[in-house]
């Protein structure tokens, strides 16, 4: 097996969230919070032409999570699931992934909509979002089942459409 | 700024590609190659319930790329663009991201469609794909412009729809 891989942050997130409890989660969660992706000054040339893309993938580090669980109970369900079938922060490699909408660029700062990271979160990569899987082809496994159960208990809470956030 | 982050592979990719020249790239590239995501034996419990999802995000390492360029000319264009506006393997943190379709699971092996990684590529995370940005809301910046120029030069080659591959 390959040796360890060492990453360095390319920047950090400015977000309205300072505590994980503030971040919308679960069925019907809306991810429309605005924030800023602040890239290190030396790396600003790497943002050239990014303004033309409407959406970006942001790869970041769950820097306030420690350790991992192979099985865990997400906030969206009362049953445990494998970590690779969830967005849990407690993962073998604590990498987060979020799709954001790019609102504008001011030099090395990208104003975006859809942040679900804590303020100060380290960013390790930014990539253009080029195409999405059409909604009618996506199956959402245990999450769809948990949402169906939740909306039976609490009608009006389910939102099978989901947001663009990909935490 | 935060300290370095150390990742360990959670498994590796079995792919038909042994050389980057074999991987479809550029406008009209189809990403329908089948492969296997092979997770380490110790981590197999983390795959519980993953069968219910139709698509997955795979995060992996460009382990055969060395160094990075802040500006580079992608295979899809004759003009240079910032690395964060491209899928170049020569990135500050050499992380790749691919959306694959999950065809089936055999224990710790996930059979998938849409691999664009080399055989043996280290995987660092797998996440469920929950929702996509609708096609009509996606703007694809320089890539759409390059495709338009390419299809003027070589009609029939352009494919604005793209695949689900997110290399």
Query: What are B100-148's pLDDT values in tens digits?
Result: 999 999 999 999 999 999 999 999 999 999 988 988 999 999 988 888 8
Residues of A in contact with B134 (CB under 8 A): 132, 135
- The reported pLDDT for the residue numbered A124 is 98
User: Does A104 contact chain B (CB < 8 Å)?
Assistant: no
Which 3 state secondary structure label does DSSP give A87?
coil
pLDDT in the model for residue A132? 87
DSSP B51: G
Q: Residue B102 and residue B56: Cα distance in Å, rounded? A: 7
pLDDT, one tens digit per residue, over A26-69 is: 666 778 999 999 999 999 999 999 999 999 999 999 999 999 99
Please give the DSSP secondary-structure letter assigned to residue B121: P
pLDDT (tens digit, 9 = 90+) per residue, A131-150? 889 889 999 989 888 888 88
Residues of A whose CB is below 8 A from B114: none
Residue B24 has what pLDDT?
Answer: 87
- What is the rounded distance in angstroms from the CA atom of residue B135 to the CA atom of residue A47? 23
Residues 11-40 of B with CB under 8 A from A: 12, 39-40
- Mean pLDDT of all residues in B141-167: 65
pLDDT above 90 (res A164): no
Quickly count: other Cβ atoms within 10 Å of residue B77's Cβ: 19
User: Are the beta carbons of B141 and A85 separated by less than 8 Å?
Assistant: no
Tell me what the pLDDT averaged over chain B comes to: 88
| Overall pTM surpassing 0.80 (yes/no) | yes
Task: Tell whether the model's pLDDT for residue B166 goes beyond 50.
Answer: no
């Amino acid at each position: 097996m390959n040796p360890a891989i060492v990453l360095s942050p390319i920047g950090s997130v400015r977000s309205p969230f300072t505590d994980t409890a503030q971040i919308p989660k679960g069925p019907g969660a809306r991810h429309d919070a605005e924030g800023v992706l602040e890239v290190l000054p030396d790396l600003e040339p790497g943002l050239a032409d990014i303004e033309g893309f409407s959406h970006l993938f942001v790869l970041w580090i769950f820097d306030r999570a420690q350790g991992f669980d192979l099985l865990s109970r997400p906030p969206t369900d009362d049953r445990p699931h494998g970590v690779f079938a969830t967005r849990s922060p407690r993962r073998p490699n604590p990498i987060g992934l979020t799709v954001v909408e790019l609102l504008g660029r001011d030099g090395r700062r990208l104003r975006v909509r859809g942040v679900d990271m804590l303020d100060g979160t380290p960013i390790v990569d930014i990539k253009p979002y080029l195409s999405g899987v059409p909604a009618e082809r996506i199956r959402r496994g245990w999450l769809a089942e948990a949402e169906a159960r939740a909306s039976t208990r609490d009608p009006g809470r389910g939102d099978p459409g989901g947001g663009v956030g990909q935490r």
